[in-house]
C-alpha cells in the first residue's frame, strides 16, 4: 500500500492514517464492507459502512491517478523530454485533468493545421515569432508547400495557437475562470416542440456557473438531449484574451506582435474555449450526477428501512376500472392465502356486490389493514374502502402504498416462479400487501431504479447509480439481518459474502432437509465455504434453533466470550432478552469486563446489546406507517390547515408529502425550516411522518403547496 496515498486519504476524510491502512488491509484480504463495519470495529476504530466505502473509493482513484502519472512520465521519458521539474509537476498534480493538461504537448497529435505547418518546416519561424524580434524574414521558409509569405505567417500562427492551447498553466487558469465567472445560458431551440412545457423555465434562462443547483444542470442536459434547449457557457472573452496577452507577449512594439495576438485569439476561439466548455459542463454534470445519486441512495435507504407491520393480516388492493380491482390476502408470515377480483367501478359498477365481498373477506380472514396501490382508480378505490370499513365488524384501517416498480416485479421471471398460476395484476396485489408488511423483503425483488424515490435517475451515470443503490440495499439487508429459513433468493443475494452458489446451496438444503437448526449446521454440512461462513454468518439468523445465540447478531467467533460473560453473571443462554438478563447487563462495567474477558470494548458493547435485545430490528426506531380510516378531499382544505403526512420523496428543491390526496403535496425547500439549509435531507427523510400546513391550494390542477413551518397566528 502506498503510504503517501494513505496520508492523503487520512487528511481528506479526517480519519487516522492507521484507520485507513487497517481498513485497506482488511479489504485486500477479501473482507466485505458490512463484515468489517460490524465485526472489525476494533481494527478500524469503529468506522461505519459509508466511511469504509469512501476509503476504498478514494484509494482506488488515487491508485489509478498514480498509475496514470507513472505512465505519462514513462511516455515523456521515452521521447527524451523528461526533466526533474516536469516530473515534479506531474507528481504534484491532484487531479487526472491536471495530469492530462501537462501531457497534452507531448501527445502524438492527429493531423491538425499546426502539424501540417510543422511538417512544412515552419516550427523554427514560430519560435522566432515568439522571441518578438524587431524584424523577421520569412523568405527562408518559402518552399514547394509554402508558396508565399502570407502562407508562412498563417502556418506560423497555427503552430503558436496550438502551443498556447497545449499550455497546462493557461488551461488551468481558464478552466478556473469559467467556474468563477462563467454564466450558463439556456435558450429554446428554434422550432423545438415542448407540448407539455416541461422545460418552460429554461426557454430563456441564465445563472452563474458557481451558483447553479445540481438538479437544474440535469434538467438542462435532458432538455438539450431531447433537442428542445441549446445550452452554452458565456464568459468575458476579452478578460481571458487580456490574461493570455499579458503572459505571452514580451514586446508590443515589434513586427510579430500583431500576428501573435491573432494567434492567441484563434487559439482561444478554435481550440481552448470549446474544449474547456466541454470539460466544465462535464464536471458540472458529474457533480450533479453524484448529488442526484446520493439523494436517491439516501431516500432508498430510508424506504427500505421503513418499519414492518408485524403480525398483521393485510389485504392488498390493486385498483383498476375495466379489468377490476385485484385483491390478495397475505397472512402474518407474508404467505398468500386468497386472491380474488371485484368490479366496484365503471364500466361494470358492481358496487354493492363488491362491498359485500370485501366485508366477507374482512370477517373470514380477520383482516387488520388494507393496502391500496396508488395507481389508476386509486382515488375511487380509497373512497370505496372507506365506505366498506364503516360497516366492518372489526377495526380495519387502510393505507395508500406506492406501486412504483410493482408492475416490473409482477411480470418478472422471479414473480412468475413465485406465483406461476397467477395473473400479473394478482401478483401485483400480493406485492402491494407485502410492501406494507415487510418493505425490505419485498422491495429487494425490484430493480431499485424502479422504486420511484429519486430525481433524474435516467440522466446520471448508470454504473455509478447501480453501484450506489446496490451498496444501499446491501447495507440495509445486513443491518436488519435475514432469517435463514424464510429468506428469499432476492434477500439472500445481498447478504455479506454470499455468492450465487452459496445461496443455491442454502435453498437446495432447505428444500431437501427442511428447517436449518443452527448456524453450525451451515458449516458442518459444507453449505457455506469457510470464508463465506465468516463473512455472512453474523447477518444470518436461526430463529427457534438449538442455540439461542444463533438468533442474535453476535458472531460465532464471539460465542466463547459471550458464554464466559453469561457464566460470570450467573446467567444462561436461554435467558437472552429476559428482564433478569437486561437488569444484570445494565449494571455491567464494560471497561472492567473488557479487560477481564480479553475482548475489545466495541465487540463487548455489541454482545451486550444483542443479549438485551436478541430480536432487535433497527427499523423499529423509525416512524410507523400512517394508517387512515377516512378520506380527504382537496375541497376540504383551507389555507393554514394543519395536517399529518408521510414523506414520499425528497429532492433537491423540496419534499413530496402524502397527505391523503391523489397527488402528493409539495413543500418547497424554503418552507421546511426557519433557518438556511443546503438540502431538504438536512430536515426530513423518506418515510418520516410530519406535521405540515396548507400553504396554497390549486383546485384546477389538483395540487397543494405545503409548509413544515407553523404559520404565525
CATH superfamily, region 474-620: Tex RuvX-like domain-like (1.10.150.310)
- How does pLDDT run across 328-382, given as a tens digit for each residue? 999 988 899 999 999 999 999 999 999 999 999 999 999 999 999 988 888 899 9
Q: Does residue 631 carry a pLDDT above 80?
A: no
Residue 455 pLDDT exceeds 80: no
**pLDDT (0 to 100) of residue 1:** 59
Residue found by looking up cell 386468497 in the block: 338
* pLDDT over threshold 90, residue 21: yes
Say which range, 32-41, 295-304, 552-561, has the weakest mean pLDDT. Answer: 295-304
Give the model's confidence band at 500: pLDDT under 50 very low, under 70 low, under 90 confident, else very high.
very high
CB 316 within 8 A of CB 371: yes
- The pLDDT score that the predictor gives to residue 626 is 78
Report residue 406's pLDDT band, with 50, 70 and 90 as the boundaries: confident
Q: Which superfamily does 314-402 belong to?
A: YqgF/RNase H-like domain (3.30.420.140)
At residue 167, the pLDDT reads 95
At residue 476 the predicted structure's pLDDT band, cuts being 50, 70 and 90, is very high
Q: What is the pLDDT of residue 54?
A: 94
pLDDT tens digits, one per residue of 89-108: 999 998 899 999 999 999 88
pLDDT value at residue 55: 94
Domain 110-296 CATH (choose: 1.10.2020.10, 1.20.120.10, 1.10.3500.10, 1.10.3720.10): 1.10.3500.10
CATH class of 3-105: mainly alpha
Return the beta strands (E) in 515-595 as ranges: 540-541
Provide the grid cell at 467: 453501484
Q: What CATH fold (topology level) applies to the domain 634-707? A: OB fold (Dihydrolipoamide Acetyltransferase, E2P) (2.40.50)
Long-range contacts of 657-663 (CB under 8 A, 24+ apart): 657/690, 657/692, 657/706, 658/400, 659/632, 659/692, 659/704, 659/706, 660/400, 660/628, 660/631, 660/632, 661/632, 661/633, 661/634, 661/702, 661/704, 662/378, 662/379, 662/702, 663/702, 663/703, 663/704
| In the predicted structure, residue 521 carries a pLDDT above the cut 90 | yes
Q: Where are the domains of the chain?
A: 3-105, 110-296, 314-402, 474-620, 634-707
Kind and range of the H or E element at 685? none
How many helices and strands in the chain, by DSSP H and E? 30, 15
The pLDDT tens digits of the residues spanning 53-91 come to: 999 999 989 889 999 999 999 999 998 999 999 999 999
For residues 231 and 186, the answer to whether their CB atoms sit within 8 Å is: yes
The three cell numbers of residue 617 are: 430490528
pLDDT value at 713 more than 70: no
pLDDT of residue 288: 94
Q: How many residues does the chain have?
A: 713
Q: Which residues contact 105 (CB under 8 A, 6 or more apart)?
A: 163, 166, 167, 168
Asked if 3-105 and 314-402 have one fold, the answer is: no
* Highest mean pLDDT, choosing among 234-238, 408-412, 428-432, 579-583: 234-238
Amino acid at each position: 500500500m502506498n503510504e503517501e496515498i494513505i496520508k492523503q486519504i487520512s487528511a481528506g476524510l479526517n480519519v487516522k492514517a492507521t484507520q485507513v491502512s487497517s481498513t485497506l488491509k482488511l479489504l485486500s484480504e477479501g473482507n466485505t464492507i458490512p463484515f468489517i463495519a460490524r465485526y472489525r470495529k476494533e481494527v478500524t476504530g469503529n468506522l461505519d459502512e459509508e466511511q469504509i466505502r469512501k476509503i476504498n473509493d478514494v484509494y482506488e482513484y488515487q491508485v489509478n491517478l498514480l498509475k496514470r502519472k507513472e505512465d505519462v512520465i514513462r511516455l515523456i521519458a521515452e521521447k527524451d523530454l523528461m526533466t526533474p521539474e516536469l516530473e515534479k509537476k506531474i507528481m504534484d498534480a491532484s487531479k487526472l485533468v491536471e495530469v492530462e493538461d501537462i501531457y497534452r504537448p507531448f501527445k502524438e497529435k492527429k493531423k491538425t493545421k499546426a502539424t501540417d505547418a510543422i511538417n512544412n518546416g515552419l516550427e523554427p519561424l514560430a519560435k522566432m515569432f515568439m522571441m518578438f524580434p524587431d524584424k523577421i524574414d520569412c523568405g527562408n521558409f518559402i518552399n514547394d508547400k509554402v508558396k508565399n509569405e502570407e502562407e508562412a505567417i498563417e502556418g506560423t500562427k497555427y503552430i503558436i495557437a496550438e502551443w498556447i492551447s497545449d499550455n497546462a498553466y493557461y488551461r488551468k487558469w481558464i478552466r478556473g475562470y469559467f467556474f468563477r465567472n462563467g454564466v450558463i445560458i439556456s435558450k429554446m431551440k428554434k422550432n423545438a416542440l415542448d407540448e407539455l412545457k416541461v422545460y418552460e423555465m429554461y426557454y430563456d434562462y441564465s445563472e452563474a456557473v458557481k451558483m447553479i443547483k445540481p438538479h437544474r444542470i440535469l434538467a438542462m442536459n435532458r432538455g438539450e438531449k431531447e433537442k428542445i434547449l441549446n445550452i452554452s457557457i458565456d464568459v468575458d472573452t476579452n478578460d481571458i484574451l487580456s490574461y493570455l496577452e499579458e503572459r505571452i507577449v514580451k514586446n508590443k512594439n515589434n513586427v510579430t506582435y500583431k500576428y501573435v495576438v491573432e494567434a492567441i485569439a484563434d487559439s482561444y476561439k478554435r481550440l481552448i474555449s470549446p474544449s474547456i466548455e466541454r470539460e466544465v459542463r462535464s464536471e458540472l454534470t458529474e457533480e450533479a450526477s453524484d448529488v442526484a445519486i446520493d439523494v436517491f441512495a439516501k431516500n432508498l435507504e430510508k424506504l427500505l428501512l421503513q418499519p414492518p407491520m408485524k403480525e398483521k393480516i393485510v389485504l392488498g388492493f390493486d385498483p383498476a376500472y375495466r379489468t377490476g380491482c385485484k385483491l390478495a390476502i397475505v397472512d402474518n408470515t407474508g404467505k398468500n392465502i386468497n386472491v380474488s377480483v371485484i368490479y366496484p367501478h365503471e364500466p361494470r359498477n358492481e358496487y354493492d356486490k363488491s362491498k359485500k365481498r370485501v366485508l366477507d373477506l374482512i370477517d373470514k380472514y380477520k383482516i387488520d389493514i388494507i393496502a391500496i396501490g396508488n395507481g389508476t382508480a386509486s382515488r375511487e378505490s380509497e373512497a370505496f374502502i372507506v365506505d366498506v370499513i364503516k360497516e366492518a365488524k372489526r377495526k380495519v384501517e387502510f393505507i395508500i402504498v406506492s406501486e412504483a416498480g410493482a408492475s416490473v416485479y409482477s411480470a418478472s421471471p422471479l414473480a412468475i416462479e413465485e406465483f406461476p398460476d397467477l395473473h400479473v395484476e394478482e401478483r401485483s396485489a400480493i406485492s402491494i400487501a407485502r410492501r406494507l408488511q415487510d418493505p425490505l423483503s419485498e422491495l429487494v425483488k425490484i430493480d431499485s431504479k424502479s422504486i420511484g424515490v429519486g430525481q433524474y435517475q435516467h440522466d446520471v451515470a448508470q454504473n455509478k447509480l447501480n453501484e450506489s443503490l446496490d451498496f444501499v440495499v446491501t447495507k440495509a439487508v445486513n443491518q436488519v439481518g435475514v432469517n435463514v429459513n424464510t429468506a428469499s433468493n432476492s434477500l439472500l443475494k445481498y447478504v455479506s459474502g454470499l455468492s450465487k452458489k452459496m445461496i443455491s446451496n442454502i435453498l437446495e438444503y432447505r428444500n431437501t432437509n427442511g428447517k436449518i437448526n443452527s448456524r453450525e449446521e451451515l458449516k458442518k454440512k459444507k453449505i457455506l465455504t469457510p470464508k463465506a461462513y465468516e463473512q455472512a454468518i453474523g447477518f444470518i439468523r436461526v430463529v427457534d434453533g438449538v442455540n439461542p445465540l444463533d438468533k442474535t447478531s453476535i458472531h460465532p467467533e464471539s460465542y466463547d466470550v459471550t458464554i464466559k460473560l453469561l457464566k460470570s453473571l450467573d446467567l444462561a443462554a436461554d435467558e437472552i432478552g429476559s428482564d433478569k438478563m437486561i437488569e444484570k447487563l445494565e449494571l455491567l462495567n464494560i471497561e472492567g469486563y473488557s479487560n477481564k474477558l480479553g475482548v475489545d470494548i466495541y465487540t463487548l458493547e455489541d454482545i451486550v446489546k444483542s443479549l438485551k435485545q436478541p430480536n432487535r430490528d433497527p427499523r423499529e426506531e423509525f416512524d410507523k406507517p400512517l394508517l387512515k380510516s377516512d378520506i380527504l378531499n382537496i375541497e376540504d382544505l383551507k389555507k393554514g390547515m394543519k395536517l399529518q403526512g408521510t414523506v414520499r420523496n425528497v429532492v433537491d428543491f423540496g419534499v413530496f408529502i402524502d397527505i391523503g390526496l391523489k397527488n402528493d403535496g409539495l413543500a418547497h425547500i424554503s418552507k421546511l425550516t426557519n433557518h438556511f439549509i443546503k438540502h431538504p435531507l438536512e430536515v426530513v427523510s423518506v418515510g418520516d411522518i410530519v406535521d405540515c400546513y396548507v400553504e396554497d391550494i390549486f383546485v384546477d390542477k389538483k395540487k397543494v403547496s405545503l409548509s413544515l413551518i407553523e404559520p404565525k397566528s
